[in-house]
Chains A and B, each alone.
Chain A
């Protein structure tokens, strides 16, 4: 059994689908911060069989976690302060997603225009569906 020490302040992202932790690490742009990060892959889980976990030592509020709601609403976000879980953060779908997913419509301007950011806008909060800002094509959930 692998042991990773407690963190004093930051986040523990639990119940990440096994194998997705590195994708999330990059999408949260943790590679661009000085934060200490522990990436735990294929941890045993009663609920999921196996799961990934990310532990991030950083000031609370310094990371934008909105994208997690889009990626996987089952991820649990534990907010840690003074080494203890203060609360579990609710995930809210972001209004806009930039350069995370790509428009697959071959007729969309994003298919030919160089350097254009791929932007999706939340079109239906209940269904969690997003549409391309340019062609309004629907993005089918990953």
Chain B
């Protein structure tokens, strides 16, 4: 049985197949409208995430399946002290596939170990968020036509931003990729990512100012500085407005650069940028549904 816990769980070839399927779903949605008739997805969300949860639920409904689940730990047995291992054993009796979000890192790994149904990691603390990565990759592939040969700038919270860690891991398997990490000192990319890039001989640099480097980029991945990742409110308030993308900064970028963002946005991208053709972040949301539909079909083994 296959699970998706880490973006690296799928080979590059398997990802190509998945993205081909997602692109076909985009072109011919009616062909897939009843593929999951009689199947159920359980969305087990121990912390709130309207966007990701609704994306999974929409994906399953688009495939003709149905949805069960909970949207915060308070409405689940976790509030009574039930372990993740026990919860997934129970959910395995109800549903055909499970998407799980949990505030603790590694929770989805625990779930996959004890599950009788495929588990999709819908985010485990600051660790991994593989379906956001698949969404980002499908967006890039669909809008640029390929996934290699890019200089990618990642900006904002690179320390706790799980979407960033997952995307770096996934794109590091493609040829001719260069990373530019744009963050304040306090939110620098973790050492294990730097180690991995050094081991693979992938070029990278770390900079503090977005303006200094935006002209070099093919892709700019913006992230939100998240309140819930800080132990202390003072640090959050001091750092949250550090990087804001506005028209002035965007005027220094290439005409064909794409701006991506996992959303929700707070104010790190000014709304004046939304109408710029380079703003790809709302298209990402739509690609997120297609890629989750493709993932559900793939993990359930439905042709």
CB pair A113–B85 under 8 Å, yes or no, is: yes
Q: A108-B104, A138-B192 are in contact. Are A113 and B110 (CB under 8 A)?
A: yes
Counting CB contacts under 8 A, is B182 at the interface?
no
Counting CB contacts under 8 A, is A115 at the interface?
yes
Q: Which of B175-230 contact A (CB under 8 A)?
A: 191-192, 195
* Interface residue from B83, B107, B124, B125 paired with A115 (Cβ < 8 Å): B83
What bracket does the count of chain A residues touching chain B fall in?
20 to 34
Contacts of A108 in B (CB 8 A): 104-106
Q: A109-B105, A109-B110, A116-B110 are in contact. Are A135 and B127 (CB under 8 A)?
A: yes
CB pair B104–A136 under 8 Å, yes or no, is: no
Q: How far is the CB of B49 from chain A (nearest CB, A)?
A: 17
CB pair A135–B83 under 8 Å, yes or no, is: no
Per-residue A-contact encoding for B254-269, CB less than 8 Å = 1, 0 else = 0000000000000000
* Interface residue from A114, A124, A135, A138 paired with B105 (Cβ < 8 Å): A135
Contacts of A105 in B (CB 8 A): 105
Counting CB contacts under 8 A, is B163 at the interface?
no
Task: Report Cα–Cα, A122/B104, bound state, in Å.
Answer: 22
Q: A134-B109, A136-B127 are in contact. Are A109 and B192 (CB under 8 A)?
A: no
Q: Is the interface of B mostly helix, strand, loop or mixed?
A: mixed
Q: Which of A103-118 contact B (CB under 8 A)?
A: 105, 107-116
Residue of B nearest to A111 (CB): B104
Per-residue B-contact encoding for A108-142, CB less than 8 Å = 1, 0 else = 11111111100000001000000111111110000
A-B contact count (CB 8 A): 56
* Interface residue from B85, B110, B191 paired with A134 (Cβ < 8 Å): B110
Counting CB contacts under 8 A, is B69 at the interface?
no
CB pair B106–A132 under 8 Å, yes or no, is: yes
Contacts of B192 in A (CB 8 A): 131, 136, 138
Counting CB contacts under 8 A, is B102 at the interface?
yes
Counting CB contacts under 8 A, is B295 at the interface?
no
Q: A135-B105, A137-B105 are in contact. List 17 more A-B contacts (CB 8 A).
A: A107-B103, A107-B125, A107-B126, A109-B84, A109-B109, A113-B83, A113-B84, A113-B104, A113-B107, A114-B83, A115-B83, A116-B83, A116-B85, A124-B195, A132-B106, A136-B106, A136-B127
CB<8 Å pairs between A and B, sample of 14: A109-B109, A110-B106, A114-B83, A116-B83, A116-B110, A124-B195, A132-B106, A133-B106, A134-B106, A135-B127, A136-B105, A136-B127, A136-B192, A138-B191
